[in-house]
Structure 1
C-alpha cells in the first residue's frame, strides 16, 4: 500500500517540495502589488471570464484566434501566479503535467526536426498553461459551474446546427464514408467543426456534463434544460456516424452510469446496494445491443469496424499505423518531438504509397512518436494519478452528499470516453477538443484538498514550527 501511495503521489510532501523548489521560488514575487490592486480583488473571476471566452468561441473561430486567446490565458496565469501565495492550488496532477512538459522539452531538443518540434512545444505549453489557470480558478464551485455552463450552452448551439444538417442535408467536405458502403449517401453531420469525427470528439464532453447537470443543477427548469441538452447532444454525436466517437460515447456512458450507481447506492436497501451496479451495467449494455440490432444505419456502421481492410477507413488506418510503428522503432526513447508539424516532416519518409496522414490516428501511438517510451510512461502515470485523485475526492464528496460531485463524475466519464475515442483517432489534438481535454483534467485537479487545507506555505511553515 505504501508503494501505491508513492506511485499515486498520495504521500508526496508538497510543502517540502515547494520550499526546496527553485522553480517555485518566484511564486509570490508580486504579492505586495496585488494587495494594493483594486482590479486583482477580482482575480479569479477575471481568469474565469478569459477561460469562458475560449470555450464560448472555440467552435466558431479560427485556430489562430484560439491561439491568441490561449496566450492571453497563459499570460494572465503568469500574472496571477507571480502575485499569489506560495503553494496555493498545487496538486499531484500539476507535478505530472510539469514532468510531461519537461520530457517534451527534452524531445524537442533532440528532435531531428527541431524547428517544427519547437512549434509543437509552444502549442503544448499554451494548453498546459490553460490547464494551470483553470485548475486555479475552478476551485470556486460557482466559477466551476459557470465555466461548465458556458461550454454546455455553446455545445448546445453546435448540436442544434448538427441536427439541422441531418434534416436538411449538408455537403460532405471530404470522403468520410467508404464509397462501396451501404452508408455511402448517408449524411454525416459536422456542424461548425467541418469534420464529423472532430464534432463527435467536441460533443462527447457535452453529453456527459449535461447528464451530470441533470443532477447538479438545483431547480426544475435548469434540470429540464439539462435533460434537453443531453438528448440533443447525444443525438448529434450519433448522427456524426463517427465510429471512434461512438466507442468513446459508449465507454463514457458506461463509466458515468457506474459512477451514478455508486453515488446513489448508499440510499438503497442492502440487496439493491449489492446488485445496483451489475443491473445498471447489464441494462445499459442490453440497450446498446438492441439499438445496434434495430437501427440499420447504426448496425452497418458498427459492423464496418470488424471488416478489416475491406473498409477503406480501416485500411487507411492500418497502413498509417504500420508506418508509425517504423517511426517509433527508429526513435523509441524520446521520439521526434511534439506537434503535428514535426510529424508531417518525418512521416513522409516512412509512409506507404498513397497513404499520407496528418497524425498517427491513435493517441498512444502519437505520444510514442512524439515523446517516445519515456513520454508515454509519464502520460500513463498522469492518467493514474488523475483517476486516483478523482476517485479519492469523489468519495469525500459522496460522504458529504455534495452535489458538486456530479461535475466530477462527468469529468471522469469524459476522460474515459476521450481516451477510448483517442485509441483510433487523434482529433483531440485540435484546439477545439484539446482545450476540453485539459478542462477535464483541471476539473479533477480543482477538487484536490491537501493536508494543509490550501493555507499559504508560509503559514504552513509557521504552524509546523509552533506545533
Structure 2
C-alpha cells in the first residue's frame, strides 16, 4: 500500500536519471550557457530574480492587475533567460531544482493548453491561458531562488511587512468607518450595520484570502526568528493580521483561518514533540483538539456577530449570499455537463462568454464561486483530477521534507509548516469562493507551493555519484 502511495505521489520517481536522459532537457536547458559564463549581468542573476519576485509581492495589493501582469511577464522572461543559459553539467546538489511538484504543474499547464485549443471561445480562453502561464512560471522562478534560505527568509519577511501595512489600513477602516463598495451583507441580517473592512483590496473576501497566509506565516515566524525583537514583531503581525482578517466577516476566510491555524498547531506539536516529556508526547495532540473545539464553541455561543455570521452558513437559501451562490452553482453544473472532459478553457474571460447562456435570471456571475467547480468548468474533470493530484503530491512532498527537517532540528521546518498550513486554509476558503483566481492571492498561492518545492531533497543514488565523478574526471582531463 505504501509503495502504491509513493508511486502515486511520484516519491520514488528517478528525476535525476530523467534529466540526464531527456532530449528536451539536454537540447533546451543551457543552450546559451557559454554566453552566460562571459556575461557580467548574469553574475547577478540570483539578485535580479529576487528583485523581480520581490516587486510582485511588494506592489500586488496596491497597484492595478495590469501592472501585476507586466511584472509577472518580466519574471517569466527572466526565467526563460535563466533556463536557456543554465549550466549544462550535471551536479547532484543542483538536481533538486526539478521536483515532482514541477512535473504536475507542467502537466496541469499542458491540460490547460489543450483545453484552450479545444475551447468553443478560443480567443477568450487564450487570455486566461496567458494569465495561468505567467502564474506557473512565477512558481518556477520562485522555486528556483527559494532554495537559498537567505532569499526565502527575505521574501517571506517582505510579504509579512506588506501584509502588516494592509492590515493596519483595514483596522483603520474598522475604527473610523468605510463605505461598502458592494452589497456584502444580507439586508435582513443583524450585521447590516457592521463595517466589513477591505483595506487596499476593495473586497473583504479578497482581503481575507490575502491575509490568511500572512496570519499563518507570522505565527510560525514567532518560532523561526531567533532574537526577541523579531519574535515580538512576529507576534504583533500575527495579532494585527488576525484581527483584520476576522473583521472582514468573510465566512470563507474564517473557515480557512480556523483550518490553517489548526494545521499549524498540529504540525508544530509534531515537530516540537521530540523535546516533550513522555506525558505531553501522548496527550498534547488530544488536548490541542479539545482546546480548539472548546474555544470555537465559546466564540459561537457568546460572541453575537460571530454567532450570526456562523449560523448564516447553514441558512441555506434563507441567506441572500447563499442563495446567490446556489443559483450560480446550478448553472455551472449544467456547463460542466455539456463539456465534462476538458471544459470551456481557462480564465474568467472564457467563463463570461459561456455563463450567460446558462445563468438563471438576475444571477450574473464572474466565476463559479467554488474553486472545484471553477477548475471543472474550465479544464473539465481531466483538469480537476490533475489539480487534485498536484495537491496530493505537494502536501506529500511537504510532509516528507518536514519529517527530514524534524530529524535535523532545523528552524527551516517552521517556514515549511507555514506554507503547508496556508495552502490548506486557502483551499477551504475557496470551497465556496474563487478569490484564489485574483492576482493578489494567486501569486501568494504559488509562492507557498514554491516554498514547499524549494525544500525538496532527492536522495543521491549510486548513478548520481557515478555521473558526477565522470564529470569531474572529464574536467580534470
* TM-score exceeds 0.5: yes
- Partner of 2:58, secondary structure, is helix
Q: Could you tell me which runs of 5 or more consecutive residues in structure 1 were left unpaired when the two chains were aligned.
A: none
Q: CA deviation at 1:459?
A: 4.8
Q: CA deviation at 1:29?
A: 1.2
Q: CA deviation at 1:365?
A: 0.4
Q: CA deviation at 1:404?
A: 0.7
The match for 1:79 among 58, 78, 81 is 81
Range moving further from structure 2, 291-300 or 382-391: 291-300
Alignment match, 2:172: 164
Alignment match, 1:8: 9
Q: Distance in 1 between the 2:363 and 2:391 partners?
A: 32
Alignment match, 2:57: 55
Q: Distance in 1 between the 2:323 and 2:143 partners?
A: 40
Q: Does 1:354 align with 2:362?
A: yes
- Partner of 2:353, secondary structure, is helix
- Partner of 2:267, secondary structure, is helix
Q: Do the aligned partners of 2:16 and 2:464 also contact (CA within 8 Å) in 1?
A: no
Q: CA deviation at 1:331?
A: 0.3
Q: Distance in 2 between the 1:104 and 1:22 partners?
A: 24
Alignment match, 1:308: 316
- Partner of 1:423, secondary structure, is helix
Q: Does 1:408 align with 2:416?
A: yes
1:184-230, Cα deviation, whole Å (9 max, x unpaired): 11100000000000000000000000001101111110000000000
Q: Distance in 2 between the 1:196 and 1:236 partners?
A: 10
Q: Does 1:439 align with 2:447?
A: yes
The match for 2:343 among 335, 341, 361 is 335
The match for 2:326 among 299, 318, 321 is 318
1:366-417, Cα deviation, whole Å (9 max, x unpaired): 0000000110111011001001100000011111110011000000000000
1:124-163 map, 5 Å: 124-163=132-171
Q: CA deviation at 1:59?
A: 0.2
The match for 2:192 among 166, 175, 184 is 184
Q: TM-score scaled to structure 1, two decimals?
A: 0.97
Q: Do the aligned partners of 2:342 and 2:378 also contact (CA within 8 Å) in 1?
A: yes
Range moving further from structure 2, 143-152 or 21-30: 21-30
Q: CA deviation at 1:37?
A: 2.1
Q: How many corresponding residue pairs?
A: 465
Q: CA deviation at 1:39?
A: 2.5
Q: Distance in 2 between the 1:465 and 1:380 partners?
A: 44
- Partner of 2:460, secondary structure, is coil
Q: CA deviation at 1:94?
A: 0.2
Alignment match, 2:399: 391
Cα gap change, 1:457/1:198 in structure 2, threshold over 3 Å: closer, same or farther? Answer: farther
Q: CA deviation at 1:270?
A: 1.6
Q: TM-score scaled to structure 2, two decimals?
A: 0.95
Q: CA deviation at 1:286?
A: 1.3
Alignment match, 2:40: 38
Q: CA deviation at 1:464?
A: 12
Cα gap change, 1:464/1:317 in structure 2, threshold over 3 Å: closer, same or farther? Answer: farther
Q: CA deviation at 1:16?
A: 2.5
Q: Distance in 1 between the 2:102 and 2:300 partners?
A: 41
